């Protein structure tokens, strides 16, 4: 009996193993897995395609799909005979062909892309052809770190400052009513290290981005460049556009100032020396020798605080620094009284005092 029971148990175990093995084999077959189908635009910016009024080019719209061509349908949403859309033989793209010519108003054609397979969502994309005589412009540019100021004479002034060390890349999104925008740049650094930034593209379409990557600036001079955006390709050496960005990259901040000279480079100043200025208007420059980039700041005498009377209307002295030069512009003193202010030299990007000149203007 014991032997018989053992044989029966072994046989049952073998049958169980066979059942498990068959189940695994069946799971490997087509009946054991469900295919997930995908149908979408490869580039979501193709949801709205813009054509200029004089464009008659065909456009290829790429699809991201694992469906066969006979499982995909592309149909016009409305009566839009001026533009057609045809699915490619492999089902991986759609050819859009505009016809006729532009009219007095914008033309629009919307197409519905759907699948014959259940559970796959349909989507739409639209082609817009601008009206005859449309004025194409860069509508705006947006990016983290861009500074915009309104000027009554030149309009919007856009600027960006890159750090000297570990600078962040600048990504700008460009918005336009044209089919394409274009980029150009003017590098204003003329030393041996001229390749201090790289650009990932020089044209795009509405809503696309451009990324500028900066190299570290380990030198003592600020770097500068101009970036231009327009709806027409740039030609020639002279660059101009209504929309531009002034880019400055800070120099490595100075830790010390070794010398300060007058504009002739003949007279050297000492720290906290008094500089006497006549009552008449006066312009001059100071040249600074330092171990890094510097900046300048006007403060009340003997302090590190800005003069509250300098409100944009009552300022009587102005200063600005560029690389190792500090320019000073002093207005005529018609008050009849002596007046004074201190000029601080600081590290680039910092208010830390490195050197001080005491400016005193005569009143008579």
Quick one: pLDDT at residue 195? 87
Structural domains of the chain, with CATH? 39-129 (2.60.40.10), 138-249 (2.60.40.10), 257-361 (2.60.40.10)
**CA–CA gap between residue 323 and residue 296 (Å, rounded):** 11
Quick one: pLDDT at residue 33? 74
**CA–CA gap between residue 65 and residue 20 (Å, rounded):** 36
In the chain, alpha helices (H) = 2-27
pLDDT < 70 regions, the chain:
1-32, 191-194
**At 330, which helix (H) or strand (E)?**
strand 325-330
CA distances in angstroms from 104 to 5, 54, 56, 132, listed in the order given: 95, 12, 16, 5
**CA–CA gap between residue 85 and residue 59 (Å, rounded):** 9
Quick one: pLDDT at residue 229? 98
Quick one: pLDDT at residue 80? 87
| Residues 6 or more apart in contact with residue 36 via CB below 8 angstroms | none
**CA–CA gap between residue 115 and residue 291 (Å, rounded):** 67
CA 360 to chain centre: 44
Quick one: pLDDT at residue 193? 56
Q: Tell me the pairing of strands 138-142 and 59-65.
A: unpaired
110 forms beta bridges with: 126
**CA–CA gap between residue 319 and residue 306 (Å, rounded):** 13
CA 84 to chain centre: 35
8 A C-beta contact, residue 306 and residue 359: no
Quick one: pLDDT at residue 321? 86
């Amino acid at each position: 009996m014991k032997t018989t029971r053992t044989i029966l148990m072994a046989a049952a175990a073998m049958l169980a193993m066979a059942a498990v093995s068959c189940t695994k084999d069946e799971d490997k077959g087509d009946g054991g897995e469900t295919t997930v189908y995908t149908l979408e635009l490869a580039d979501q910016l193709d949801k709205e395609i813009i054509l200029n009024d004089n464009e008659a080019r065909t456009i290829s719209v790429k699809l991201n799909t694992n469906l066969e061509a006979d499982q995909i349908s592309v149909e016009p949403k409305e009566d839009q005979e001026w533009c057609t859309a045809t699915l490619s033989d492999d089902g991986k793209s759609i050819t859009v062909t505009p016809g006729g010519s532009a009219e007095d108003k914008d033309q629009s054609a919307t197409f519905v892309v759907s699948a014959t397979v259940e559970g796959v969502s349909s989507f739409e994309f639209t082609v817009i052809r601008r009206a005859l005589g449309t004025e194409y412009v860069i509508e705006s540019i947006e990016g983290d770190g861009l500074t915009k100021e309104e000027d009554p004479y030149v309009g919007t002034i856009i600027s960006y400052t890159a750090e000297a060390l570990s600078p962040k890349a600048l990504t700008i999104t460009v918005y336009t009513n044209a089919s394409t925008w274009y980029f150009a740049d003017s590098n204003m650094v003329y030393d041996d290290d001229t390749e201090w930034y790289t650009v990932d593209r020089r044209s795009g379409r509405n809503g696309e981005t451009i990324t500028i990557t900066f190299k570290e600036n380990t030198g003592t001079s600020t770097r500068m460049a101009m970036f231009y955006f327009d709806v027409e390709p740039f030609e020639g050496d002279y660059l101009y556009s209504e929309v531009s960005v002034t880019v400055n990259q800070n120099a490595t901040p100075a830790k010390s100032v070794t010398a300060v000279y007058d504009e002739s480079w003949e007279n050297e100043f000492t720290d906290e020396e008094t500089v006497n200025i006549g009552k008449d208007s006066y312009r001059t420059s100071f040249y600074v020798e330092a171990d890094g980039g510097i900046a300048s700041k006007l403060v009340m005498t003997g302090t590190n605080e800005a003069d509250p009377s300098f409100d944009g209307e009552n300022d009587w002295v102005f200063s600005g620094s560029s690389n190792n030069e500090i320019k000073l512009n002093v207005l005529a003193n018609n008050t009849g009284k002596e007046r004074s202010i201190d000029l601080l030299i600081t590290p680039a990007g910092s208010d830390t005092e490195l050197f001080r000149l005491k400016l005193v203007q005569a009143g008579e």
